[in-house]
Structure 1
Amino acid sequence: MVNEETAEDVFFRELVGICAELRQAFPRHVGMSRHRVQMLVRLRRNGETRHSDLRERLGIDGASVTRLVKEFEAEGLLGRRVDPADNRYTLAVLTPAGDRAAAELERSHQAYQERLLAGITAQDQETVRDVLRRLRTNITDQESR
């Protein structure tokens, strides 16, 4: 006997699928890796940041952070220095060119999101947010049992 997919199976397959697609869609659109996009935007929003904080916030290992920082530095988008408060840490900061690149990424991302939401009403967007909040609550409730 072959079990058919349930409505729940279809719902979660679709939800996971769109989340995976969304995670990669904008980076593909701008021709950059997701981590490169995230690092530029994170530095623009937070200013000078320790490598260790970038590692934690981006969810990547220290070697990957160092590699990205060196790439951006070679491209003139980022500078780095030893943290004067604790010389065990290195700080990364956008150069003026890096700030302009990150600002353009943010503008492009906003326009991209608007295009993705074309034809989806504000009410439909709110309904989806309500469903996602309820799912999050249900997950928390299940984990506390």
Structure 2
Amino acid sequence: METPEDRFFGELGGAYAEIRQAFARHVGMSAPRLRVLMRLWRDGETSHSDLRRILSLDGASVTRLIKEFEAEGLVSRRIDPADNRYTLANLTPAGAQAAAELARSHQAYQVRLLDGVTAEEQETVLRALTRVCANVDRIERDPQGR
């Protein structure tokens, strides 16, 4: 039997997954490609290893995506001068422009997603999510609830 908690977290997870996939479909780019491109835009030059860890992607996927972006002229790669075991990826000017356009498109898409959702409703959801995240932190600090 589904509990209210099951329904809450099921709906929350489902909504998050659907929103991420829907925007990727909207812009015609896979979600992993989108995530890598936007992470490089936000963080600047980043190692493949850090991208793998931050985005929870396997190393082969990160390498493949970076090589695809490089072939498209959106990313450049170089060996990390501080440690030649690592490869660094960075957006080219064309990549930065593409990412900036995606960010603008994402903002407009978010406005459309929130159509009919009042500011008060948005604040209520934000308060609930903030409380849930605080509870996660509390539970991780004290798993036995003492």
TM-score normalised over the length of structure 2: 0.89
Gaps of 5+ in 1: none
1:106 and 2:103 are equivalent in the alignment: yes
Gaps of 5+ in 2: none
1:2-81, aligned counterparts within 5 Å? Answer: 3=1, 5-81=2-78
Q: Look up the equivalent residue of 1:21 and give its one-letter code.
A: E
Match of 1:84 among 75, 81, 84: 81
TM-superposed CA distance for 1:52, in Å, is 0.7
Q: Look up the equivalent residue of 1:98 and give its one-letter code.
A: G
TM-superposed CA distance for 1:8, in Å, is 3.5
Aligned residues: 142
C-alpha distance in structure 2 between counterparts of 1:58 and 1:26, whole Å: 17
Residue in structure 2 matched with residue 123 of structure 1 by the alignment:
120
Residue in structure 2 matched with residue 138 of structure 1 by the alignment:
135
C-alpha distance in structure 1 between counterparts of 2:136 and 2:43, whole Å: 31
C-alpha distance in structure 1 between counterparts of 2:124 and 2:81, whole Å: 48
Q: Look up the equivalent residue of 1:135 and give its one-letter code.
A: V
TM-score normalised over the length of structure 1: 0.89
CA displacement 1:122-145 (0-9 Å, x = unmatched) = 111110011112222334444522
TM-superposed CA distance for 1:118, in Å, is 1.2
Using the aligned pairs only, state the percent identity: 66
C-alpha distance in structure 1 between counterparts of 2:52 and 2:36, whole Å: 10
C-alpha distance in structure 2 between counterparts of 1:11 and 1:82, whole Å: 46
TM-superposed CA distance for 1:111, in Å, is 0.5
* SS of residue matched to 2:85: coil
C-alpha distance in structure 2 between counterparts of 1:6 and 1:56, whole Å: 34
